[in-house]
Chain A
Amino acid sequence: MKRLGIMLLSLVLLLTTVAGCGSEGKDSEVSTATGSQSKSSAAGKVNEYGWEVPEKTLEISYYVGQDNPDTVAKNSKLISDLLLEKFNVKLNKIVYDTDMIEKLNLMLASNDYPDVISNMKVDEALKWVDLGKAQELTPLIDEYGPEIKKQMGDYLKRYEDDDGKIFNLPVGWGLLPIADAAAQVRLDWYKEIGSPEFKTPDEYYEVLKKLVEKHPVNAAGEKVYALGAWKDDVYPTMIPEQLGGIWGLKRGYKEDADHNLTHWVNTDEGLELTKWYNRFAREGLLDPDTFTQKRDDWGAKCSNERYAGHFATWWVTKDFGNMTWLKTKKDYNDDMRYPHYDIKAPIAEKSYLNPKSTMGWGRTIITDKCKNPKDVMKWWNFEVSDMGTKLLSWGIPNTETSVWNLTESGEWSWNQNMTKTLEDSTFDQAKFDLNGGVSYWMVMGQQLHEDGTQAWIDQNFPSKWFKLKDENLKDTVFDFSAFFAISLPADEPVTVENQQVRDIVTTGFANAVMSKTESECVAKFMEMREKASKAGLKEVEDFYSQQYKKNLVKWNME
């Protein structure tokens, strides 16, 4: 006992010393960081990026939510050095591993938060505005944000409140006309059966059926399915929403001439899509684990060549299928992939597979703690400019691993050595991240710039397959921002009803699809419809229709 105690005690002492050393090391790091904060020699001049270098170092602290602080620190190093040296700007990007909403609540409760908060969910941002913690941006934009006005154009109006004032700006705004979801088939198998054309869901079904007949099992003797999906996150609710596009539904809603929205459960189209999916299940063509497996399990099956097709976003089949086969299969050939096709039900006038939002994925506010809001706005104004987008999206120029170069006189060019790797799929994302691309976005847009470039680096060099996809699907992409801009109010009955409907519909759809007969499927669908309307589906539809119409009027989009 005694000996153990002594051992423990000495261990503790030893550890204290070691821990002490460790923290000393950290201290010195901090002091060097502040020490380097000096006046830039280029003050007052306009640098090659088109930024007027300020006299005094411009410092902005901003919180962007949940991320790994270690990775963020690693990836911000190079670009923050460059910003300090050439711009005399010090951006202090703050991330915590805490959940963002939780952290924001703690910040509010303890009244301790930074100058700028970015990447907020819409309702969070509005809450901060309501509490009076966000500064009004409208006069700042008028005075210091000409570039913001120019780049955002009409979109800027979408962030006005009812009084025409702007309190928050978006990050990731703009229309990126890339198709996400589509009907996909395994190309080499499709070629084997003579590439029969398919335009409707029934023809798509026939093709998939033939593919499975041709390849009933994979190399290991495991069963091959036509389609499959997974249960994680929002995916189960997304299946009917994505499929609905084939029948002319817009993200699960049917829009009539007066812009009234009807939920898919209340439409014939909804019943049709459920029956269509159910047919796969009845005939053993749908993976029976569709609603029980996780994405990783789905991915394992995809990698093991157990799906003839897929109906959803493009990159899962690329990562789990094509990219995995490229690395692991000896007999890999370029046709081992899932290209994308547009299909449309006869009863639909048009397919709406790819609803797009221009609203961005987050909002940014300047808090009431900020002493120099006009400087922040000046920085944002640079951020959205053509050159700002390049620097802050592609990372630092002029190094061996940079994707772009910039001369002293401000002329830019691609770094061919690196862009080549983007074209042949050998691009090293980790190295790219070290250059600080995508690191410092606060109000960045993802629209096409005047010179034809784009913030997402790989979108500037789409592969031929990628181009083919967008060519095939270009008519399915549409701006549905007026719908995506709707946010459910916190703690109101409609929010609860919406959640109840979601619960009922997710369960109901899965059960209807997995039915053994078509009549059972229809019965379960009707049961779901009834339950959903009891839970307040009508109120939810009304709420969405009303808000949708309001946005259309406000944005002059009618």
Chain B
Amino acid sequence: MSDIIIDNMPVNPKQSKFRHIFKTVKKERQLWILCIPLVAWVATFAYYPMYGIIIAFIKYVPGKPFLDCQWVGLKYFQQFFESPDLFLILRNTLAISGLDLLFGFPAPILLAILINELAFKRFKKFAQTVSYMPHFVSWVVVSSIMFTTLGTDGVFNEVLQLLGIVHEPVAFLSKGEYFWGLITISNIWKGIGWGSIIYLSAIAGIDEELYQAGAVDGLGRFGMIWHILLPGIKTTIVLLFILQIGGILNAGFEQQLLIGNSQTREYYDVIDTYAYRYGIQLGRYSYGAAIGLMKSAIGLSLVLITNKIAKKVSDLSII
């Protein structure tokens, strides 16, 4: 934003590097002073505890000092890659978050635009207030709602039978092939309103002068959406997209356990549910930690890579 702090003084090539740094810091001292508490905070509360990452490389027994535990190197990582379920859980994780990316990501953007286009102010407020209610409904409740609607004597099956589409009830919840669809729909239902809040705020931040200018240029309603509104929230969209790519290995946990069942396990088991069962539940903290560490490393790399691509393509960068 600012090019005021630094005067555009020509840099003397003979100036030593040290002096250059010194000068820059001096000019930016206000900002650096502001940074000190922020950096101190992050160093204490985020970086200092990171020594715990070592758990992934030792055979950790709670209560034993880290240094007394046996060093096993990459054993747990290797175990994960040799696990017979590896293919299954990777497939499910990628399928579920892929569907989330494809449908779950654009849904709140669409909703935000539609809410923004509502003409009656009261209805607009109302729709927005209620849209995020599902966010507060716990997964336990969501799963029982799904059971009453989609169970074999649920409402949906009754409707299908009335319409003559099927002759006997379809067991939607016990067929693996429906599971990915069901979980995507319930993720969207639960998150659409909540996710749209940030887009609505971005829309609100668009300068009204731009619309006035658009009107002068003869833009219609859809033209306004396409040429003014969408570019106005582009940074937010790109940012959230990059972050969601980074979270591609987080395909959910609680919803899997609650909506899934033994008949659909081969379709619901994702990295997090697997790590829970084979890590913490079996007292294998190091195994859980190794999987977590791997997820983090992949997540961060994906963010950096996507960021680079986004920078090349659209000149937007989050880092």
A and B are partners in one complex rather than unrelated chains: yes
Binding site for B on A (CB under 8 A): 101, 104-105, 108-109, 123, 127-128, 131, 133, 222-223, 231, 236, 288-289, 291-294, 296-297, 488, 490-491, 495-496, 499-500, 503, 506-507, 509-511, 514, 534-535
Interchain Cβ contacts within 8 Å, total number? 95
- A499-B147 Cα distance, complex, nearest whole Å: 28
- Chain B nearest CB from A231 CB (Å) reads 4
Q: Is B151 in contact with A297, judged by CB distance below 8 angstroms?
A: yes
B92 CB–A CB distance under 8 Å:
no
Q: Is B64 in contact with A495, judged by CB distance below 8 angstroms?
A: no
Cβ contacts B80-93/A at 8 Å (1 or 0 each)? 00001100000000
Q: Is A500 in contact with B282, judged by CB distance below 8 angstroms?
A: no
B245 CB–A CB distance under 8 Å:
no
Select from chain A the residue with minimum beta-carbon distance to B266.
A507
* Given A293-B147, A490-B283; A507-B171 close (CB under 8 Å): no
Within 8 A of A (CB), among B80-125: 84-85
- Chain B nearest CB from A301 CB (Å) reads 9
B284 CB–A CB distance under 8 Å:
yes
* Given A223-B153, A499-B278, A507-B266; A294-B63 close (CB under 8 Å): no
Contacts of B85 in A (CB 8 A): 500, 503
Q: Is B169 in contact with A288, judged by CB distance below 8 angstroms?
A: yes
- Chain B nearest CB from A46 CB (Å) reads 41
Q: Is B62 in contact with A105, judged by CB distance below 8 angstroms?
A: yes
Q: Is B265 in contact with A507, judged by CB distance below 8 angstroms?
A: yes
Select from chain A the residue with minimum beta-carbon distance to B172.
A292
- A293-B61 Cα distance, complex, nearest whole Å: 37
Contacts of B263 in A (CB 8 A): 291-292, 507, 510-511, 514
16 A-B pairs within 8 Å (CB atoms) are namely: A105-B62, A105-B63, A127-B61, A231-B261, A289-B174, A291-B174, A291-B262, A292-B263, A296-B144, A297-B144, A491-B283, A495-B282, A496-B284, A499-B277, A509-B262, A510-B262
Contact of A294 among B62, B147, B282 (CB under 8 A): B147
Cβ contacts B261-278/A at 8 Å (1 or 0 each)? 111011000000000011
Select from chain B the residue with minimum beta-carbon distance to A237.
B262
B251 CB–A CB distance under 8 Å:
no
Most chain B CB within a 10 A radius of its CB, from A108, A292, A506, A514? A292
- A498-B108 Cα distance, complex, nearest whole Å: 43
Select from chain B the residue with minimum beta-carbon distance to A231.
B261
- Chain B nearest CB from A540 CB (Å) reads 13
Within 8 A of A (CB), among B142-200: 143-144, 147, 151-153, 169, 171, 173-174
Contacts of A222 in B (CB 8 A): 153
Most chain B CB within a 10 A radius of its CB, from A105, A128, A534? A105
Q: Is A507 in contact with B262, judged by CB distance below 8 angstroms?
A: yes
Q: Is B261 in contact with A292, judged by CB distance below 8 angstroms?
A: yes
- Chain B nearest CB from A127 CB (Å) reads 7
Select from chain A the residue with minimum beta-carbon distance to B59.
A491
Q: Is A292 in contact with B147, judged by CB distance below 8 angstroms?
A: yes
- A131-B152 Cα distance, complex, nearest whole Å: 52
Within 8 A of A (CB), among B126-156: 143-144, 147, 151-153
B306 CB–A CB distance under 8 Å:
no
* Given A127-B61, A133-B63, A297-B144; A289-B283 close (CB under 8 Å): no
- A109-B68 Cα distance, complex, nearest whole Å: 13
Q: Is A506 in contact with B278, judged by CB distance below 8 angstroms?
A: no
Contact of A291 among B62, B261, B277, B282 (CB under 8 A): B261
Q: Is B63 in contact with A131, judged by CB distance below 8 angstroms?
A: yes
B286 CB–A CB distance under 8 Å:
yes
Contacts of A296 in B (CB 8 A): 144
Contacts of A496 in B (CB 8 A): 278, 282, 284
Contacts of B286 in A (CB 8 A): 491
Cβ contacts B47-68/A at 8 Å (1 or 0 each)? 0000000000001011110000
Contacts of A509 in B (CB 8 A): 262
Select from chain B the residue with minimum beta-carbon distance to A121.
B283
Contacts of A294 in B (CB 8 A): 143-144, 147
Contacts of A288 in B (CB 8 A): 152, 169, 171, 174
- A510-B266 Cα distance, complex, nearest whole Å: 12
Most chain A CB within a 10 A radius of its CB, from B143, B261, B284? B261
Q: Is B174 in contact with A292, judged by CB distance below 8 angstroms?
A: yes
* Given A231-B261, A511-B263; A500-B144 close (CB under 8 Å): no
* Given A288-B171, A535-B84; A109-B62 close (CB under 8 Å): yes
- A459-B179 Cα distance, complex, nearest whole Å: 45
Select from chain A the residue with minimum beta-carbon distance to B148.
A297
Q: Is B151 in contact with A289, judged by CB distance below 8 angstroms?
A: yes
- Chain A nearest CB from B65 CB (Å) reads 9
Within 8 A of A (CB), among B243-292: 261-263, 265-266, 277-278, 281-284, 286-287
Q: Is A108 in contact with B153, judged by CB distance below 8 angstroms?
A: no
Cβ contacts B285-304/A at 8 Å (1 or 0 each)? 01100000000000000000
* Given A293-B151, A491-B282, A499-B282; A108-B266 close (CB under 8 Å): no
- Chain A nearest CB from B92 CB (Å) reads 13
Select from chain B the residue with minimum beta-carbon distance to A132.
B63
* Given A289-B152, A294-B144, A507-B262; A514-B62 close (CB under 8 Å): no
* Given A288-B169, A293-B147, A507-B266; A500-B261 close (CB under 8 Å): no
Select from chain B the residue with minimum beta-carbon distance to A284.
B168
Given contacts A292-B173, A297-B151, A500-B85, 14 further A-B contacts (CB under 8 A): A133-B63, A222-B153, A288-B169, A289-B147, A289-B151, A291-B261, A296-B144, A297-B147, A491-B286, A496-B282, A499-B277, A499-B278, A500-B84, A503-B265
Select from chain B the residue with minimum beta-carbon distance to A495.
B282
Select from chain A the residue with minimum beta-carbon distance to B76.
A491
- A468-B277 Cα distance, complex, nearest whole Å: 41
Contacts of B84 in A (CB 8 A): 500, 534-535
- A108-B66 Cα distance, complex, nearest whole Å: 13
Select from chain A the residue with minimum beta-carbon distance to B169.
A288
Contacts of A109 in B (CB 8 A): 62-63
- A101-B276 Cα distance, complex, nearest whole Å: 14
- A127-B64 Cα distance, complex, nearest whole Å: 11
- Chain A nearest CB from B79 CB (Å) reads 8
- A511-B171 Cα distance, complex, nearest whole Å: 13
Cβ contacts B213-240/A at 8 Å (1 or 0 each)? 0000000000000000000000000000
Select from chain B the residue with minimum beta-carbon distance to A534.
B84
- A351-B269 Cα distance, complex, nearest whole Å: 36
Select from chain B the residue with minimum beta-carbon distance to A301.
B153
- Chain B nearest CB from A112 CB (Å) reads 12
- A500-B261 Cα distance, complex, nearest whole Å: 16
- A188-B151 Cα distance, complex, nearest whole Å: 29
Q: Is B147 in contact with A490, judged by CB distance below 8 angstroms?
A: no
- A488-B283 Cα distance, complex, nearest whole Å: 10
